[in-house]
Amino acid sequence: MSTAFPQDLLSQALSILAAEDDAIPFVPPLTAALDRSIATEEQGCLTARVEGQPVATLSSHESLTFFVPPPPAQVSPRRLASFDRRGRLLSLLTWTPDGKLDRFKVRGLEGRFLGVVHGAASHLGWGLSDCVSVLEGEGGFSLERSLTLFRSVAYEDLDFLPPLDAPALLPAGGGSTVLNLLAQLAQDQGKAVLRYRGPYPSERLFATLCESFRYSGEPGATRERFTRDVEEAALQLKMDEVSVDWRPSPHERFFPAAHTCVQLRDGIEKVYDHGRVYYRADLLASANAVRLQQDQDGQSRYVAGLTILGQPLEDHLVLDPRGEILERPSYARNWFVRGTLQLSNEWKAVLVRLIAAESTPLLHPALWPAIDELTLVWSELEGELWVEAGNELLLHGRMVAAYREALTRVRSAGESLLLAARFASELARLIGPLVRARAQERVAALSAEDQEIALLFATAGPTGLSDSELRAFLTRLALGEELPEVEEEK
């Protein structure tokens, strides 16, 4: 066995595989192959090869991957299993004797395994499909409950990215968990680019693909090209290929603690911690953000927490560049909200217009009824920027203080107006998913014929306030109106 690999990690990983029924047949030949392998540095990774073919790799983030031995020279390497640096099993693939991928399991963000079985179902829109389920426990492949399915692919020679039915049924990060495994296989096979074929080229799918693939071109134009005519494609279940090239660039996952997962690629890009998901701004603009900081001694660290207008409101988790936990900062609220706490109907109209600008036209008529049934209130929340309580939506009042503080730093009326527009836009993006989900429920309750009619008469133009009304509101907001006061304890 190559001494260049961490022996403790290798031993632990092989021991775990020896307890997995699907992996047991591969352990003896894998161990023998490792014993006679030669390890070399290749593009920042350590690779153990036998007769020129890989049997194991250790990445720059210290993830360990095994390949099925003996590796035939005429086919692409067949990935068997991956582990993080602590020896936690991340994925296990089950190959048939003739080299076909029968099923696989991958560990999700929350730590549980998702299992995918090839060709186990059929879909009315695209035919043969692979089933995604939650698995029971750590070992084996025992199905706890079925979740959803996606169009079957040839895992041995990937040639497209498949559509997924009902992604909302997956746990947090479930879609990216499966897509990342596809990106890993595509990379193993030396695929330069893949394209999505299916009826759901949505904004959400675009963002998810960015976690495991890369694209060329300007972000806005590429996103628009990817999502063009998504409503018609979804309603008619069109299986067209979308003309955006996706280069495989899979991330790695590391679990520094129970209920915490760090996603690494170019540094830390995403963090899951006790149900919350934080993104680095260049991956996805989110109020739950990961930001890079420099300590006084020049050391880098990543901080996951709540932000608005680029300013931190609460810090929840501090990590070193490897993803190890340095600190969980304590938080003591020392502020109170005073004045009018409920957001006005004009506030709602502004938010609806901004939410509509980033929503499918099919939803536009349902957005106002969806937000109108909600009562929006500035509140003394902790830990979350918003909380849904029935038809009441509580908003973190410290956002108001951050905005008022930013207003004190602007140098002109024009800057104040831009800041007001940015604040309203970030608030709209914050609650937009909730409002869209409620609007989708309304649209879903319509018959197929009524949905077609709604699409026919839907407008892509401004929804809600006119341009002049929006500007008048933002002008008042730029003057500090339309908001309560936030006072700090003395």
Confidence check: pLDDT of 27 > 60: yes
Q: What local confidence, expressed as pLDDT, does residue 457 receive?
A: 59
Interval 78-127: pLDDT, tens: 999 999 999 999 999 999 988 899 999 999 999 999 999 999 999 999 99
Paired tokens of 224: 């628009």
Q: 294 pLDDT band (50/70/90 cuts)?
A: confident
Residue 72 has pLDDT above 70, yes or no: no
> Residue 305: pLDDT above 60?
yes
* CA-wise closest residue to 78 among 189, 182, 166, 244: 189
Predicted pLDDT at 1: 47
Can you give the pLDDT at residue 453?
Answer: 67
32-36, 91-95, 455-459: segment of lowest average pLDDT: 455-459
Lowest mean pLDDT among 169-178, 356-365, 454-463: 454-463
Q: What is the pLDDT of residues 188-235, one digit of tens each?
A: 999 999 999 999 998 889 999 999 999 999 998 999 999 888 877 887
Has residue 76 got a pLDDT over 90? no
Task: Give pLDDT, residue 132.
Answer: 98
Q: What is the pLDDT of residue 454?
A: 61
Q: Please tell me the predicted confidence (pLDDT) of residue 73.
A: 64
User: What rounded mean pLDDT belongs to the chain?
Assistant: 91
pTM, entire model:
0.89
Please say if the pLDDT value at position 236 is more than 90: no
Q: Rounded mean pLDDT of 2-7?
A: 77
In this prediction, residue 75 carries a pLDDT of 78
* Predicted pLDDT of residue 325: 97
Decide if pLDDT at 392 tops 90.
yes
